[in-house]
Amino acid sequence: MAAAPAKSPPRLDELGLAFRRVYRALNRIRGRDTHLHGTELSHAQFQLLIELEERGELPAGELAAAAQLAPGTVTQMLDALAESGHVERLRSDTDRRVVVSRLTPGGRRQIEAKRAAWRERWERTLEGVSERELRAATNVLERLAAMFEEQAGNSPCRPGPQAGSEA
């Protein structure tokens, strides 16, 4: 007979629920941003632009791996981004068989505009939070991120504790 899973301490359950609420709220905001404006980029398209900004020109396969998306999906997204003028696709200088994508000035402007809008929303949302609270939240989030990254790198994918797992 299998042992019943250990009950999480109440504070861990509360943290998991709070984390899930924040995650869901951010997803709703991202979705709203995309659906309010027909010309607005999807979150996934924006992530591709960010990867190109950070890494420079890339073949679709490398971009897919960096963005953790399927290569076919990335190819379709790149076609749409090229059509809208956010990226250009061209042959690699080092291997003419390879097609790479790179940001256009319009793509860079799109990134800057989206970041500015998010920064304004972020500042407006957090304007009532004290410097001390912001520092404490930053410390906790950085520590959690480091612990989760360590877990992700050290353990095989298998079910674990479920506190806050529906994020």
Q: Are 49 and 63 in contact (CB under 8 A)?
A: no
Q: Render pLDDT for 102-153 as a digit per residue (tens, 0 to 9).
A: 999 999 999 999 889 889 988 998 999 999 999 999 999 999 889 988 988 8
Quote the CA–CA distance of 35 and 25 in Å, as a whole number.
15
Q: Is the dihedral of CA 154, 159, 161, 164 positive or negative?
A: positive
* In the predicted structure, residue 69 carries a pLDDT above the cut 70: yes
Quote the CA–CA distance of 140 and 150 in Å, as a whole number.
15
Residue 162: the pLDDT is 43
**Helix boundaries (H) for 68-130:** 71-83, 105-126
Residue 88: the pLDDT is 95
Would you list the domain boundaries of the chain? 23-149
| CATH of the structural domain 23-149, one choice from 3.60.15.10, 1.10.10.10, 3.40.50.720, 3.90.1300.10 | 1.10.10.10
Which residue would you say has higher pLDDT here, 38 or 110?
110
